[in-house]
Amino acid sequence: MYDSFSVLVGGKAGDGINEAGNLIARLMNRLGYRVYVEVDYPSLIRGGHNFSIVRCAREKVGCRTDRLDVVMALNDETVERHAHRLGGGGTLVIDTGSVKGVAPDEAAGPEAGEPDNDAPSGSTEVGSGSSGAAEQGAEPKADKPQADGERGDAGRDDGRIVMGVPIAAILKELQAPPVMRNTCLLGAFCRIAGISWEILEDTIRQHIPRSLEKNLEVARRGYEAARQRETLASLDLPALPVMNGNEAVGLGLIRAGCTAYVAYPMSPSTGLLHFMASVADDCRLKVVHPENEIAVILMALGMAYAGERAAVGTAGGGFCLMTEGVSLAGQAELPIVIMVAQRPGPSTGLPTYTTQADLHFVLNAGQGEFPRLVVAPGSAEEAYYWSAVAMGLAWRYQTPAFVLADKAVCEGSYSIDIDALPPLPEYDVPLWDGVSPYRRYARPDDPGAAGTAGAPDDVAAAGTAGESGDASTGAPADAAAAEPVDVPGDATAAGTAAAEGSTAPSAAVPPGVSPLAFPPLPGEIVKVDSYEHDELGVTTEDNTETVLMEEKRVRKWCALEEEIDRLEAVKVRGDADAPTALLCWGSNGSVCREVADELGLRMVQPLVLSPFPTRQFEEALDGVERLICVENNVTGQLVKLLRLHGFDVDDAIRRYDGRMFSLEELTTGVKEVLQ
């Protein structure tokens, strides 16, 4: 485990827990720490139990630890559910105005308000009587028990203390609004962590500009009410931006030319809508929130027809409504980026929790066969990079591109360093030359068509459909008897054109791609069609034309497969030569990387799931004798996908209670598998 420091802030919904967590994260970030914030909250506006865990380390982190250093409780439930996670020397901070089940070990600072009359004296035991399962709901699958052995067995003699801060009294005395609770907590945290008042003041000035003087006053009182327990040294590392996955997706889209965002609110994708709306003016975005998700995707496709680089975002339920639009994008060859933020289903499921159960839904949504890109980022940095790639490839190949995220990535906050990423590929969009008569679905690379010199070898051998039917006499085409056309996943199609180690995009106009143009075009027309169509975009039911268009779309598909092979579509981390590998996708990337580092394992994470990066995946598994697949779903969706591509795994570790794996849980789970 990386050397890290974890603080949990817990309270009722409406207490501003997320904000408090984010402020602590920003503060630690300014000290040079790399931070990760996991937020846990139920689907309601007031009440319930919310908590936010901030983990800080020298290395980039993206998962929580069970062991906590500081717990800040705004209610009794926080104490009951989380205080037992405090490690030796840990500090439980309670708001003496709202926590009654436990009393502070010592009086609050001299300027503290009224005494805490209700607290039963002597009830200062930390961690007793709380249910281990309560904190994270049901434990993972029974045959993969998680690390929990160290819970609750440390007594008061290990240096843990309870510290009281009279937040309510301070706010009342200063006539500050309840929302400033967070500022008070932040002040107390800084004192506990040994962070100087100057750094705190600086952070507040930058991130809480409203009612600045009052906030500073409240923070000061929180600071003074607490006592130093740690000395978190400032690291000799540059401070990085802190961003959640939703924002990082938006940033990547904007970087890659996004000009419009259309969405209907749905957890956990709503943050992207809020982000895009908040930066719309600065980033020249058209942001629309229509009547439902059907309108969302159809509007976005209308925008794409007019030349706007549009993106949409939703969760599984909203994506159900979008599927007819996905298929339309495939048939009409309209570019669009769709972020699907997974949350547990079926149906409404657990709206504010996480899952990886929509992989096959996204891979298969929409009738008919057409190319689609599916990327699955597992952190804010990956969300930025792969969302930009998705936008670029959607437009280069005129087809839907998915950013398959989940609640953990979308609402988790990470330190983000875009300069640590490989340079973003700049994808050209093949545009109409303005000279030849415009045909929206032109197929200059048809087999047998004039000017096919540029067609790659693997499509030159495609079916002879062009000669196989006689539409004028109505004679049936014998396309079925023709040599089958290459399809994605064929050994002949995969990797034939990928330049070794090169990220340079492919030829000017990839196979199957028709140059784009947008109305108004004097003297020309732009026709798109949801029916099968001819090159101009006029509906056809002709069998020969149908075969040619199906094969055009498949050529794009094969070309897209080669295109993703130019990227690092499969990430290998940990010990790249280890014979045992952890395999994962999406948000499990961070926790698997850390476990792999700790246990000396290889970690393999496909970032692209469609077209599947077969060649790279094979390479990543070279020398692997044992493959353990880690997923947040009950049926093993990545395992199923791998089987389609001729791979199999040896073991599986799955969690499907809506929560992410903690570092300790996964470490124990992997150790047990390896025993």
Partner 1 sequence: MSDIADLDISGAGSRRPQPADTDGDAAPLTYAENTWCPGCGNFGILNVWKTLIDELADNGVPRERIVVVAGIGCHAKIADYLNLNTFYSLHGRTVPVATGIKLGNPELTVIAHAGDGDCYGEGLEHMLFAAKRNIDISLMVHDNGVYALTTGQYTPTSPRGFRGKSTPGGSAEQPINPLELALAGGATFVARSYSRGAERLRQTMLDAVLHKGFSLVDILQVCATFNNLYSYYNERTFDMDDNDPSSRTDALNRIGEWTYGGDGRIALGTFYRSAADTFDGAFRDIDRSSFDREAAVRDLLARRV
Among 538, 635, 644, 671, binds partner 1 (CB under 8 A): 538
CB 253 to partner 1: min, Å = 10
Among 10, 127, 511, 537, binds partner 1 (CB under 8 A): 537
Environment class of 525 (CB within 10 Å of its CB; exposed 0-12, middle 13-18, buried 19+): middle
Using the rule CB under 8 A, give the single segment among 23-31, 140-148, 367-375, 482-490 that binds partner 1. Answer: 23-31
Among 120, 149, 155, 307, binds partner 1 (CB under 8 A): 307
Sign of CA dihedral 442, 443, 448, 449: positive
> For residues 54 and 21, is the Cβ–Cβ distance under 8 A?
yes
Among 156, 274, 527, 571, binds partner 1 (CB under 8 A): 527
**Interface with partner 1 includes 242 (CB under 8 A)?**
yes
Gap between the Cα atoms of 149 and 65, Å rounded? 14
Gap between the Cα atoms of 460 and 445, Å rounded? 9
Cβ closest to partner 1, residue 96 vs residue 327:
327
Cβ closest to partner 1, residue 295 vs residue 460:
295
**Interface with partner 1 includes 69 (CB under 8 A)?**
no
CB 395 to partner 1: min, Å = 14
**Interface with partner 1 includes 539 (CB under 8 A)?**
yes
Q: Residue-wise over 149-183: b if at least 16 C-beta within 10 A, else e? A: eebbebeeeeebbbbbbbbbbbbeeeebeebbbbb
**Interface with partner 1 includes 526 (CB under 8 A)?**
yes
Which residues inside 455-484 make contact with partner 1, applying CB under 8 A?
472
Sign of CA dihedral 343, 346, 350, 354: negative
Using the rule CB under 8 A, give the single segment among 324-332, 343-351, 559-567, 608-616 that binds partner 1. Answer: 324-332
**Interface with partner 1 includes 192 (CB under 8 A)?**
no
**Interface with partner 1 includes 391 (CB under 8 A)?**
no
Cβ closest to partner 1, residue 11 vs residue 250:
250
CB 550 to partner 1: min, Å = 18
Closest CA to 385 of 607, 555, 190: 607
Counting residues that bind partner 1 (by CB under 8 A) gives 68
**Interface with partner 1 includes 629 (CB under 8 A)?**
no
For residues 329 to 368, the per-residue mask of contacts with partner 1, x marking binding by CB under 8 A and - elsewhere, is ---x------------------------------------
Tell me if residue 147 falls in helix, strand or coil.
coil
Count CB-CB contacts under 10 A for residue 517: 17
Using the rule CB under 8 A, give the single segment among 25-33, 228-236, 265-273, 357-365 that binds partner 1. Answer: 25-33
**Interface with partner 1 includes 200 (CB under 8 A)?**
no
Closest CA to 31 of 198, 224, 255: 198
Helix (H) or strand (E) holding 383: helix 380-397
**Interface with partner 1 includes 288 (CB under 8 A)?**
yes
**Interface with partner 1 includes 241 (CB under 8 A)?**
yes
**Interface with partner 1 includes 294 (CB under 8 A)?**
yes
**Interface with partner 1 includes 292 (CB under 8 A)?**
yes
**Interface with partner 1 includes 452 (CB under 8 A)?**
no
Gap between the Cα atoms of 675 and 450, Å rounded? 63
Closest CA to 632 of 350, 250, 326, 382: 350
Using the rule CB under 8 A, give the single segment among 99-107, 175-183, 322-330, 460-468 that binds partner 1. Answer: 322-330
Task: Catalogue the E-assigned strands of 330-418.
Answer: 336-342, 373-375, 400-406, 413-415
Gap between the Cα atoms of 185 and 344, Å rounded? 32
Cβ closest to partner 1, residue 18 vs residue 355:
18
Gap between the Cα atoms of 125 and 115, Å rounded? 20
> For residues 184 and 222, is the Cβ–Cβ distance under 8 A?
yes
Q: Identity (one letter) of the amino acid at 512?
A: G
Cβ closest to partner 1, residue 161 vs residue 310:
310
Among 115, 194, 437, 484, binds partner 1 (CB under 8 A): 437
Specify which residues 574 forms β-bridges with: 602
Specify which residues 374 forms β-bridges with: 402, 610
Give the footprint of partner 1 on this chain (CB under 8 A).
26, 29-30, 239-243, 247, 251, 254-255, 257, 259-260, 262, 279, 282-284, 286, 288, 290-292, 294-295, 298-308, 310, 324-325, 328, 332, 416, 418, 437, 472, 518-531, 533-539
